Structure 1
């Protein structure tokens, strides 16, 4: 009887120890909007984390609030962001490995046809790079912040704004832009995207960078790019 009881206690202890162990080696991030670029980056990071003994846990979380949550430690970081987040989110530490480059693109009316001549522009609030770009170019028109790319394009099609600024990888799966009026698409700039961790996890950065470099050198990165049809 004592032997069975001792065995039962041992199994219970092992169960809870395993649970704690698994929780300790799991990092939580918000789910990115699906696109070939985002899916590629997620699979690459899963491999890199597995290499150092960690597992990525993805949850549904408001994209608008994800940066603040990552900065405050509610999330363990951000899967992919450009360096514009470093200005206002000081607790996020960059993993110095370029996941991919993305374009900042502008859909605009044909006339006027220069950014500084537009009197209004729509941006998605979840991507700080858009607002930073407008600030650096000293855009003097009205900036309308919305929650989605489809809203941006609808405002443009209805001529309620003269431009819509967006990142190309987020725009990949958006509905095709249709309008009877004249519109143009312009690439304004290209930026690298990086993985960010909350400062509480900064001890992992060196290991991650080494793992990502190894995945590049052994051909895994090349194979993943081919899998998702990427050529950057």
Structure 2
């Protein structure tokens, strides 16, 4: 497990920030009369994270101009609010706006220091698109006011566990004690949760947080605001973001349907799903999502290799079908999947060849269809041959001279063999996504797809496109309304 990190819930104005600072615990300062220039200010020490370096760098630099060093004391997140309100620590590094309504002794520094988004993390194999209505139970870190407000607004009545810290939250989820967790988007990245393709990130509201000081130090606030705004205007804030590897994360919302003009999509040819004449289940999803918000919709089915090249060269807006992490380097993938693929296998003629595949010592190349990158699922040391279609791979394997193994799906096995191939399961099934150009337009198209794909599933409209078998395979059967599910007819 990666080193765990957290803060009180904040990302700078749409940017994910990363940091790591080691803080020496000190005794909390007792409340005392205000000084013209305090000797030091004491705050709760946030757990080390990439974000903390950015946060503390900005504040320490601003306070340094006032001649005030900062110190940090270890204490729980919820307790720090009480300590700050009583003046036993100087305030809060970053909290949600409106904090002063509950903790009346705290004063807000009017500089939008952080922006963040709450997200729910769950396993899409267990809950489909994983709205709160699909989640049996969940956990979050005690003292996260934004999450508590969200659950109250959503009237979530199912079991909830409050974790002490981010590490405990992770263990609750990793050990399957809870079905989902809610946290900040940058904390999800810190935990490495985005690297698991089966996990889905469901976004909720974005918010901005501010620095707070106890009223004893209210005289510092105007001076501090001037310094922070000047740092922003001079580009120092952005410089610190870059220095600490900031990255954009906040998803935009749609107050009304966008308009994209002409939209083009490409895909490898899959019978029933992306037919050459523009029919098929996957094309139907593209039509329903992007047809109403485009002046014209172009659909192009070809070989998967040419489809990949078309997105890479930015000749198409959308590539239908990619594993997360397998899209071209200049592309991004949707958060919401549109299907799960079938189990993937390696095939050989005999056990000896299969043993060499597993050991990474196979002398002849492994054949797969051009455009797909299966290196991730196989040992290092193997070489590869890219064919136009799966039957070409199997034909060369049968000859036993040019290649030594094939990577493909069982459904694509030829029916001409007199004896069975040896088979090794490479992965059981993975979610497949839409890929988009990593440009402002491409990111907007992706955001619209994620919104509308959730709606297609949550409303049950997806059942007009997928049959029961496909709904089960895609995991969407778990998310469609019960009345739609009950009305489904078994496949013949």
Same fold (TM over 0.5): yes
Residues 193, 199 of structure 2: 8 Å contact kept: no
- Choose between structure 1 and 2: higher strand proportion: 1
TM-score of the two chains, using structure 1 as the length reference: 0.81
- Choose between structure 1 and 2: higher helix proportion: 1
Equivalent residue for 1:24? Answer: 38
Equivalent residue for 1:101? Answer: 115
Equivalent residue for 1:203? Answer: 219
Match of 1:83 among 90, 97, 102: 97
Residues 119, 140 of structure 1: 8 Å contact kept: no
Equivalent residue for 2:265? Answer: none
Equivalent residue for 1:160? Answer: 177
Structure 1 residues without counterparts, runs of 5 or longer:
1-20
* Distance in 1 (alpha carbons) for counterparts of 2:215 and 2:36: 21
- Could you tell me how far 1:101 is from its partner in structure 2? 1.1
Tell me: CA distance 1:172–1:56, structure 2 relative to 1, closer, same or farther (3 Å): farther
Equivalent residue for 2:140? Answer: 123
Equivalent residue for 1:11? Answer: none
* Distance in 2 (alpha carbons) for counterparts of 1:137 and 1:210: 39
Structure 1 residue runs of 4+, over 6 Å off? Answer: 177-180
Equivalent residue for 2:77? Answer: 63
* Distance in 1 (alpha carbons) for counterparts of 2:84 and 2:189: 25
Residues 188, 194 of structure 2: 8 Å contact kept: no
- Structure 1, 87-96 or 170-179: larger mean CA deviation: 170-179
Residues 33, 170 of structure 1: 8 Å contact kept: no
Residues 64, 126 of structure 1: 8 Å contact kept: yes
Measured against aligned partners, the alpha-carbon deviations of 1:94-115 in whole angstroms (never above 9, x if no partner) come to 1111112112111124343211
Tell me: CA distance 1:169–1:97, structure 2 relative to 1, closer, same or farther (3 Å): same
Match of 2:66 among 52, 59, 68: 52
Equivalent residue for 1:145? Answer: 162
TM-score of the two chains, using structure 2 as the length reference: 0.40
Match of 2:236 among 205, 220, 225: 220
Match of 2:54 among 40, 43, 55: 40
* Distance in 2 (alpha carbons) for counterparts of 1:22 and 1:208: 14
Residues 119, 141 of structure 1: 8 Å contact kept: yes
* Distance in 2 (alpha carbons) for counterparts of 1:67 and 1:91: 10
Aligned residues: 211
- Could you tell me how far 1:84 is from its partner in structure 2? 5.5
Q: Which structure would you say has the larger RCO, counting Cα contacts within 8 Å and 6 or more residues apart? A: 1
Measured against aligned partners, the alpha-carbon deviations of 1:114-134 in whole angstroms (never above 9, x if no partner) come to 113323110101322111111
